[in-house]
Homo-oligomer: A and B are copies of this chain.
Amino acid sequence: MSVLREIKQRKPFGSHGEEALVTLLRTTDVVRRHLGDVVEPHGITMQQYNVLRILRGAGPDGLPTLEIAARMLEHTPGITRLIDRLESKNLVARQRSSDDRRCVYCHITAAGLQLLVALDAPLRGAADHAFHVLKKRELAQIVDCLDRLREGLRKK
């Protein structure tokens, strides 16, 4: 079903760019919610999940707060309070660096790692389920196109 019909619009799109834009926004919203349905029953949001994934990848030393913000899939100005919430759930711990006292290093706790382990399979399952309708070649094409799209917006 086309987006045009989904949103009950009569007029066709003004340009191919507009059509692609609308389709991209609508589809990503659907996919985000699909993923959220997997993660949120475990008591964390997608953004919080993203932080935990970053910290697992960073290892036991963890990362400074703003380095986490820089690696987030979706840009997040409220990183401090996002990590506050993870800390209050004991999924993340923080400590100010003695080396450079401006930096606060955040690292994932055992409970955080455990939560991630529980989510690994369902999450990958949901991702693969969402994309299983596409052939491997189509997936590669989409990834390539989206990479170029970001690249085009990066400069400027």
Q: Residues of A at under 8 Å CB distance from B?
A: 1-3, 6-11, 14-35, 54, 57, 70-75, 124, 127-134, 136, 138-143, 145-154
Contacts and interface: CB of A to CB of B under 8 A. Distances in A.
Nearest to A57: B9
Nearest to A19: B143
A24 B71 CA distance: 15
29 contacts: A1-B154, A3-B147, A7-B54, A7-B71, A7-B73, A9-B57, A15-B124, A16-B131, A17-B130, A17-B132, A18-B128, A20-B139, A21-B131, A23-B146, A24-B142, A25-B31, A25-B73, A27-B146, A27-B150, A29-B73, A29-B75, A30-B153, A31-B149, A33-B75, A130-B149, A130-B152, A130-B153, A133-B152, A134-B148
- Top 9 A-B residue pairs of the complex, sorted by shortest distance between their CB atoms: A17-B128, A133-B152, A28-B28, A17-B131, A27-B146, A17-B127, A29-B74, A21-B127, A7-B71
A103 B2 CA distance: 28
Q: How many copies altogether? A: 2
A21 B26 contact: no
A26 B34 CA distance: 16
